[in-house]
Amino acid sequence: MFATRKQRQRRHEQLAQAHCLSPMFDRPLVEFKNEIDRLKSGTNRIINFDEDFYCNAYPDIKKAVERGEFECGYMHYLLFGQHEVRVTSTIDFRKRFGIAPSYPSTSSLFYPINAHAPRHYETNLMRLPQPDKRELTIFIPYLDASLFYAGYSIFFKDIAKIFGDFEKINVLVLESARNPELLTEFGSQLNILHYREALKITHAPTMAICFDTETFFMALEMLGGDASKIVYYCQDYEAGFFPFGTQYIRCEKALLKSENIIISTPFLRDFLERQGLLNAKRIYVKSPEISPFPVKMEKSKKIFCYFRPEFFNSRNLPEIILEAINAFSARHNGYEFYLVGTVEVSYSFEANGSKVYVLNKLPKDEYINLIGSCDAVVSMIYSAHPGVIAWQSAASGIPTVTNCFLQRDKDTIEKISKNIVVYDPHRDELADKMELALQMDKGDADFNREFYENKEPKDIRSFLLDITSE
């Protein structure tokens, strides 16, 4: 089958781009093309790349080559694979041992998921000219509508308080930036770029603000290792998201390297202090705003559960919630469970006769109407950051089941609201705590703000601007 003119043109463009990215960039293009032809026939001499290994290790690449999207696997590697942390093999293995290298499929128990170094970010923004007026660079992992609530929205609402003090604001996105329109409410001066477009930035940043562990290291490398200009907006103990290992260490290392840090709650601050993880020169401790919502007084036999079954949200204990629903429904009839909070997931099922509805993100009015109609709320977070949903529902007057965690013990939680039922994941059965919550009165708003809130001498805007004044 002959290639069309458009396909030939595309292959020529790919070849030219790949040539620039290859070790042969300083040789004529025709030499590079000849070596690609030898690579495809297995007789390559200059390019030390095992074509068969790469294509067999990644079936998606093999199929793309077969469809004619790439002339060979090496072409894919130069253009995309090296940025996607794809594993390659040189031809030296075959020469040294006389056997072909091997690599298991992604479904294999032995798939080497950790066979890569931590990510590095080579662009040094501090080599750029200093700006005449202050410029801010914000580092975030995603800009995606399905994720832009809770942590993301609070992050931007807080830092937007200083946007008017900067001549230019660059937002560098590490992964996906599918919905840049999400930031339009925060001003038209925001310049949104994928991190690989960082060279479009024209001046060194006066200050940088990062969202999590990985964006902290991205900012640290791009600012030439100068942590004094970086603010780490810390919303949880991220090491707890991972088993002991490299990523666990990396999360704690980000905390220890931070010189300016904003911490989401006093609970999280106390935990980090006890762990010896706070070396920052400047620390600002927030208290998430707790806004009670209207509660319908009549009993409805509805139970609201905050439900996050994604692999990165195991701290919300989704398996335990489902187990408790089954156990509760075996003892009680006629209840409806609303499992709210998923991303791109919605369905319904029955559990021992109870109707269960799994709902993704709801519009605010619908969310408040639903949670306000429920007889009880279940909100778990096995982490140093306590979350907000449990506090809001308890403050509104809905009996709420939430878990204890280390220093956030039963006595401490019960001081926040009389509407909270404390669940100990190690000692209690969640279904029993659901039953206890349903026996409590509904509609009696109660929240101890004095105990919950942190008193900072400055507002967050002053804290941030003080960093730029030095």
| Rounded CA separation 426/92 (Å) | 53
Tokens (6 digits) for 212? 């999590």
- Which pLDDT value is given to residue 180? 81
Tokens (6 digits) for 395? 């403050």
- Which pLDDT value is given to residue 432? 98
Query: Pairing mode, if any, of strands 260-263 and 230-234?
Result: parallel
Edge-first strand listing for the sheet containing 302-306: 347-351, 354-360, 336-342, 302-306, 376-378, 400-403, 420-423
Which domains does the chain show, CATH number per domain?
5-97 (no CATH), 125-285 (3.40.50.11090), 302-452 (3.40.50.2000)
- Which pLDDT value is given to residue 138? 96
Q: Which of 314, 318, 312, 315 is nearest to 337 (CA)?
A: 318
What residues in the chain have per-residue pLDDT under 50? 1
Quick one: CA dihedral 155, 394, 425, 347, positive or negative?
negative
CB-count burial class (<10 Å; 0-12, 13-18, 19+) for 443: middle
- Which pLDDT value is given to residue 104? 92
- Which pLDDT value is given to residue 415? 92
pTM assigned to the model = 0.85
- Within 308-363, residue ranges assigned H as helices are 318-329
- Which pLDDT value is given to residue 3? 62
What is the identity of the amino acid at 410?
Answer: K
Q: Which of 267, 279, 252, 263 is nearest to 406 (CA)?
A: 267
